[in-house]
Amino acid sequence: MAAIGSASGATYERLALLASPTERAQEAARIMASTHDWVPFDEAEAVVVLGGDGYMLQVLHQMLDTDRVVPAYGLNLGTVGFLMNRQKSSRALEERIARARPVAISPLRMDAVTASGETQSCYAINEVSLLRETRQTAKLEVVVNGKTRIPELSCDGVLVATPAGSTAYNLSANGPILPLGANILALTPISPFRPRRWRGAILPDTAEIVFRALESVKRPVLVVADQKEVRDVSEVRVRAWRDHQLTLLFDRGRSLDERIFAEQFMS
């Protein structure tokens, strides 16, 4: 088998193929099965992912869960496909991967302490979000690098987003779009009531952010790290997990940072 190189100089001799369970992705996987000598994921140097953004996030989380991290090249067979490449191209897949640009993504690590004193740790590639559990407004203390920045934030919630996730929930909450490579995080309130004029902050990804739930019995709060949820939290600690970087491969001219740049000019 010929080695497949990337624009970074890396070569991938063994490729795995993973497809979401949707009919469209499974049909594409059947067609592609005979086009390459695919190997099992645990033997692969890189993986081709068929599906949408949700499935790509699932694959990336699987890598972190198993501590088997390899570059991922996605082909969009979903809806938005922000983390994916276009399915149709005049170039062969091997050539596209050889020319692809690698983009490093640092996930977030979230450590949550529940009202019962239990600690749960999760990670997020897009964002960590705290949300009120009932009709009662959440009240949160916001601490950054050991210093209380907001003694009492009354809101529906608050989130910390990575550059890769800044165009997801963060953008819907009127948070800023972050360019890749800037080593920053977005701290964005969700429907803030008081302080009414606070619209969030941009922080270096070396910052440690702590949220403490105030009046947690009356105003219970849950936290979500991408799709993983922990309910009735009393304290949540968030920081970039920089020693567990992930790598996405993008076609030239369609890289993630270019999409983030272009998103800022969309009406």
pLDDT at 13: 86
Contact 130, 159 (CB under 8 A): yes
Query: Which range marks the domain in which residue 235 is found?
Result: 108-240
Residue list, annotated binding site for NAD(+) = 53-54, 126-127, 156, 164, 167-172
Asked whether residue 125 falls in the same domain as residue 18, the answer is: no
Asked if 255 and 134 sit in the same domain, the reply is no
Same domain, 143 and 98: no
53 noted as active-site residue: yes
96, with CB counted inside 10 A (0-12, 13-18, 19+), is: buried
Residues 173 and 145 in one domain: yes
pLDDT of residue 82: 82
Q: Which of 239, 99, 265 is nearest to 160 (CA)?
A: 239
Q: Residues 246-257: pLDDT tens digits?
A: 999 998 876 566
How much is the CA Rg of the chain, to the nearest whole Å? 20
- Please state, rounded to an integer, the average pLDDT across all residues of the chain: 90
Tell me, yes or no, whether 197 and 162 share the same domain: yes
Torsion from C-alpha of 189, 230, 56, 31, nearest 10 degrees: -140
pLDDT of residue 1: 45
What pLDDT is attached to residue 110? 97
Give me the percent of the chain exceeding a pLDDT of 90: 68
| Distance separating alpha carbons of residues 222 and 263, to the nearest angstrom | 30
Q: Structurally, how many domains does the chain consist of?
A: 2
Tell me the pLDDT tens digit for each residue of 109-155.
999 999 999 999 999 999 999 999 999 999 999 999 999 999 999 99
112 and 102 share one domain: no
67 pLDDT higher than 50:
yes
The answer to whether residue 9 scores a pLDDT higher than 60 is no
DSSP 85: B
53, 205, 232, 257: which is the annotated catalytic residue? 53
Q: Are residues 95 and 118 in the same domain?
A: no
Residue 10: pLDDT band (50, 70, 90) is: low
Order of strands across the sheet that contains 15-19: 15-19, 46-51, 72-76, 246-250, 101-105
Q: What are phi and psi of 23, to 5 degrees?
A: -60, -40
For residue 44, what pLDDT is reported?
96
Coil, helix or strand at residue 58: helix
Please answer whether residues 59 and 69 qualify as being in contact, where contact means their C-beta atoms are separated by less than 8 angstroms: no
Q: CA 256 to CA 249: how far, in whole Å?
A: 9
Task: Tell me: do 137 and 228 sit in the same domain.
Answer: yes
What is the model's pLDDT at position 26? 96
Same domain, 94 and 154: no
Q: How far is CA 241 from CA 59, 60, 75, 156, in A?
A: 18, 14, 26, 26
Q: Which CATH number fits the domain that encloses residue 231?
A: 2.60.200.30
Domain with residue 256: its CATH number is 3.40.50.10330
Same-domain status, 136 and 209: yes
What pTM was estimated for this model as a whole? 0.84
Whether residues 179 and 200 fall in one domain: yes
CA end-to-end span of the chain = 46
Q: The tokens of 43 are what?
A: 């033997």
Lowest average pLDDT, out of 110-119, 143-152, 164-173, 218-227, goes to 164-173
Q: What is the pLDDT of residues 48-66, one digit of tens each?
A: 999 998 999 999 999 999 9
Which of 12-26, 82-96, 210-224 has the least mean pLDDT? 82-96
Predicted confidence band of residue 227 (pLDDT cuts 50, 70, 90)? confident
Give bridge partners of residue 158 from the DSSP assignment: 130, 189
Beta-strand ranges (E) seen in 8-60 are 11-12, 15-19, 46-51
Q: Is residue 101 located within the same domain as residue 114?
A: no
* Residue list for the binding site: 53-54, 126-127, 156, 164, 167-172
